[in-house]
Amino acid sequence: HYKGILEKPKIVFKHDLPKRPDLPSAVAVNAYRIIQEALLNAVKHAESSNITISIHKTGKRFYVCIMDDGIGISTKSSQGIGLIDMRERARVLGSDLQLSNTGGKGTKISFSFLRQDSSNQIL
């Protein structure tokens, strides 16, 4: 969506998933919203030239990473409502949101989750 309206930053999406991964709706929506918020933050605040979103699956576990090459996230910014929401959504997925500032050379946000059905059983 952002790619069509922005010249910068360059957004790269890497994945090894089928076109429509078989995920329960609640899981897919929470993962999507985390990625969406991370991307929005990178576009809006990071002053980055490049953003990479990668999603990979190993067995039943999905690994998600959003990285930018911007100015990095400040301690004050890491307490914003968007990141609080992202952390809560990751918790619902049974994950911890990992946030790291790469020394003024960008921000990395990552989380992973197991494919679960609506009753929280691992499939």
- Per-residue pLDDT tens digits for 14-24: 999 888 888 99
Burial of 25 (0-12, 13-18, 19+ CB in 10 A): exposed
Average pLDDT of 10-17?
93
Q: DSSP H helical segments within the chain, as ranges?
A: 25-45, 81-92
- pLDDT, residue 45, reads 84
Residue 113 CB contacts under 8 Å (≥ 6 apart), including other chains: 27, 31, 61, 62, 64, 90, 93, 94, 95
pLDDT in tens, 75-115: 665 678 889 999 999 999 999 999 988 666 899 999 999 98
Q: Above 80 in pLDDT, residue 35?
A: yes
For a pLDDT cut of 70, what percent of the chain falls above it? 82
Which is higher by pLDDT, 33 or 71? 33
- pLDDT, residue 123, reads 38
Q: Above 50 in pLDDT, residue 121?
A: no
- Take residue 33 and report the two structure tokens written for it: 């919203």
Task: Report d(CA 78, CA 20) in Å as an integer.
Answer: 32
Q: Above 60 in pLDDT, residue 65?
A: yes
